[in-house]
Structure 1
Amino acid sequence: MKGLYCRVNERDVELQFVIKEMSLPEALSCHQVRIEVKACGLSSVDLQLLREMKIQKELISVGREVVGVVKQVGSKVSLFQPEEEVVGILPLDCPFSGLCGFIDIDEQYLVHKPVQLSCVTVAAALRDAVGAYTALHTLAHMTAWQSVLVVDGASSFGLMCIQLAWYHGLKVLTTSYSPQDHTFLEQLRPTVGVQDPLVARVIPVYKGPSELVPAVLEETGGLGVDIVIDSGVRLHEEEEPELYTGPHKHDLIDVLAVGGRWVTSHPHLQLDPPDCSYLHLKSASLSFLNPEVWTTSSAQHGRYLHILKDIVDKLSSGVLRPRPEEFPLYEATVAMETLQRHPKKKAVVKFSAED
């Protein structure tokens, strides 16, 4: 049985994706489930997070969002039976790659998959949807009639945030990084109900950041938005406007309303004293988003499983709809190399009968 893994070179900067032969143990532990993988979602490898979590291995497993069929259960497994379809996210220290044909995993990381739900759909959305739930529910404490700015709404994470916020009755603003993304976001509609746009306004920033602040303030009557969710920010001004890759931290502080909440994905965000003073004047707060916190800590594991179940239900009903790129198994290495350069995209490998 072969699987795809990530190997770090000596300088700890370049990643190499390699195929390695793996074998399953003869017997399952009492709480483990053996599943046959049907689809696997690929995401970029965060080496810095692995180092900070003291997870240092020669080979790092990739493809952690898995969908499969239960083939065997341990002696104390109570939640699943053979031939049931399940979904889950493998823990960071899992010895198996999601691209193996079969894997062993503790039952506490899995939930049932509805029969009518596509394997590709759930594999593509699971991790980003967990991040969206963490940002909007856990950190931002969203409520209906609030306003939210989602930076880069066409990314896989941004798309989940937009759909989840709209479902809960928030007014959604977002930014686009290309004309193609701008058109896609303006055409977003729900699958059921009134066919109004999901996004109240799409703000183009691919020509530069100058439109962001005035557009948000215009749309909110000068009050700013209640919630800001970014997928990375710039800490310093770029010398050339055409190098614009995201909003500056000052822009996001400017568009926050009084009592607003800013959720950032930037692990090294630094605020100067004037920035902190401005946030203090607005009585605003800043939270750091780490979607992996659910699988690295067991403090609220029941809540995590509840989130996974709700995500699966919303995917099944069409509330959440990802936009994945599907790859065959033999192109998984190329897909991972592409994702490492462009981490905001989403790739899914679907196993065929021949794999």
Structure 2
Amino acid sequence: MYILIMLYHFVLIQSEERSGNPSDSMKGLYCRLNDSEEVKFVIQETDVPATLGDHQVKVQVKGCALSPVDVKLFNDLKLQRDTAPVGREIVGTVRQVGPKVSFFQPDDEVVGILSLDTEVSGLCSTVTIHEQLLVPKPEKVSWVSAAGAVRDGLRAYTALHTLAHMAVGQTLLVLDGASPFGVLSIQLAHYHGVKVLATAHSQDDQKFLEQLRPSVARVIGVWDAKVDLAESCLEETGGLGVDIVLDAGVKLYEEEPEAQQPLQLPHKHDIITLLGVGGHWVTMEHNLQLDPPDAHSLFLKAASLSFLNDEVWTASTARQGRYLHILRDVMDKLSTGTFRPLLEDPVPLYEATVSMEMVQKRQVRKRVVVQL
């Protein structure tokens, strides 16, 4: 309950002077829920305040990355609305700043993530955003790369540094390593001297990951039914197990309908088995349930379990400085070539609705960026 209260608090602290201001109208992409809870994406008019708040910045959007809309999170935070804006990872040029803005000036190139309570789609031609949700975009980084890497980079930093306390010489297992998040996690871990194992969900994924050597020490093709994930990891680590596991979802029960397993998800028992003493398991499975025997196994290994929710950074101002430091470091690693995000070819605005439907259904494997 405390976490929900803390997360909900950002609705109060991130919004600034939204009422009573004259506004400009423009079109953006929004998602709408129907009675069957099916998400539908529509282009509609929206009002953007013409008068900026003290610490707000007006940004002319040059690119916007598309990520699935987490409807359940909106409901958990009591943000139920008729429509929710789509596209929050933006990059663009500052056009106007509020009277108390100190970080930016007009014509600065910036990148950031719109807050969950925003009423404006990132696919609008201009958006208003709090200055403390933006960082400068390096000159050498393209608009598309900056927009496409900012969330996955934030998620990789949160998982490996904040939650798992990654250190040189450790062994990391990245499940679904050929995903946009998996690729940046591999690159970040290799940069810090971590040995990386990665799973591939198809033959194409396996070929792609093998091209990343030496960043990836071993590719485990879980698409092959003969391959045992836990056995492969224990073999690679001399029976000691891996130090960090980043999952992409897990199988909670021994037998589930195949329709509910579009990818080769590992069972939670397999992850606990391959986890080493003092290891860290970072999960993206928000419905994860551990039975007493599972918890006892983690206890015997002195292992930890963390839930990866990168939205938590905007929930409290206490860690705002660290959040901005992470975003700046992501941009720095893009400019030096340490990060090489996995991107689709940029799509024009008129294809945004179709592209977003594919992203929501997870029918694309690379990060989609709309170029404005």
Normalised by the shorter chain, which TM-score bucket? over 0.9
Distance 1:217 1:53 in 2: 40
What SS class does the counterpart of residue 300 from structure 1 fall into?
A: helix
Indicate which of 64, 69, 72 corresponds to 1:40. Answer: 64
Alignment of 1:206-285 (within 5 A): 206-208=223-225, 210-238=227-255, 245-285=264-304
| Higher mean C-alpha displacement, 210-219 vs 140-149 | 210-219
Q: CA deviation at 1:23?
A: 2.9
Kindly tell me the number of residue pairs found equivalent between the two proteins. Answer: 343
Specify the code of the residue in structure 2 equivalent to 1:147. Answer: T
Shift of 1:87: 0.3
- What's the secondary structure of 1:82's corresponding residue? coil
Alignment of 1:3 with 2:22, yes or no, is no
Structure 1 equivalent of residue 102 of structure 2: 78
**Residue 372 (structure 2) pairs with residue 348 (structure 1):** no
Q: Do 1:92 and 1:296's aligned partners in 2 also have CA atoms closer than 8 Å?
A: no
> SS of 2:159's equivalent?
helix
Matched residue, 2:141: 117
Residue 200 (str. 1) matches residue 204 (str. 2): no
Instruction: Show the counterpart of 2:167.
Output: 143
Cα distance in 1 between the residues matched to 2:258 and 2:73: 31
Separation in 2 of the partners of 1:239 and 1:92? 33
Q: Does 1:290 align with 2:309?
A: yes
The answer to whether structure 1 residue 91 and structure 2 residue 112 are counterparts is no
Stretches of structure 1 lacking an aligned partner (at least 5 in a row): 190-196
Instruction: Tell me, yes or no, if structure 1 residue 335 matches structure 2 residue 355.
Output: yes
Write the distance in 2 (CA, Å) between the matches of 1:23 and 1:281.
56
Contact 1:208/1:241, CA 8 A, preserved across alignment? no
Q: State whether residues 36 and 102 of structure 1, in contact with CA within 8 Å, keep that contact through their aligned partners in structure 2.
A: yes
CA deviations 1:202-254 (Å, max 9, x no partner) are 00001237421111111100100000110110101246889553111011001
Q: Which amino acid aligns with 2:47?
A: S
Does the Cα contact within 8 Å between 1:35 and 1:102 map onto a contact in 2?
A: yes
Give the equivalent residue in structure 1 for 2:9: none
Aligned position for 1:302 = 321
Q: Give yes or no for contact 1:228–1:262 (8 Å, CA) kept in 2.
A: yes
Return the TM-score normalized by structure 1: 0.94
Change over 3 Å in CA distance of 1:209–1:322 after alignment to 2: farther
User: Is residue 62 of structure 1 aligned with residue 97 of structure 2?
Assistant: no
Matched residue type, 1:157: F
3-state secondary structure, aligned to 1:215 = helix
Once residues 316 and 182 of structure 2 are traced to their aligned partners in structure 1, the CA distance between those partners, rounded to angstroms, is 25
- Give, in angstroms, the shift of residue 267 of structure 1: 0.3
Equivalent residue for 1:156?
Answer: 180
Compared with structure 1, are the counterparts of its residues 95 and 209 closer, same or farther at alpha carbon in structure 2 (3 Å cutoff)?
farther
Q: Check conservation: 1:166, 1:198, Cα contact below 8 A.
A: yes
- For the residue of structure 2 that corresponds to 1:69, the secondary structure is strand
Give per-residue Cα distances to partners, 1:18-71, cap 9 Å, x unaligned. Answer: 111123222111111001000001000001111111111111011100000000
277 and 209 in structure 1: CA distance in 2 versus 1, 3 angstrom threshold = farther
1:186 counterpart = 2:210: yes
User: AA paired with 1:296?
Assistant: A
Tell me whether 220-229 or 210-219 shows the greater mean CA deviation. 210-219
The answer to whether the 8 A contact 1:147-1:225 is kept is yes
Give unpaired runs (5+ residues) of structure 2: 1-25
- In structure 2, the partner of 1:324 is 343
Mapped partners of 2:317, 2:76: distance in 1: 18
Give me the CA root mean square deviation: 1.5
Deviation per CA, 1:266-292: give whole Å up to 9, x if none.
Answer: 001001111111111111111111011
1:312 to 290, 307, 331: 331
- Contact (CA 8 Å) 1:91, 1:296: kept in 2 or not? no
Tell me how far apart the structure 1 counterparts of residues 225 and 113 of structure 2 sit (CA, whole Å).
37
How far apart are the structure 2 equivalents of 1:209 and 1:324?
31
CA distance in 2, matches of 1:21, 1:270: 42
SS in 2 for 1:48: helix
Give the SS at the match of 2:150: helix
What is the percentage of aligned positions where both structures have the same residue?
A: 58
1:241/1:96 CA distance change after superposition, 3 Å: closer
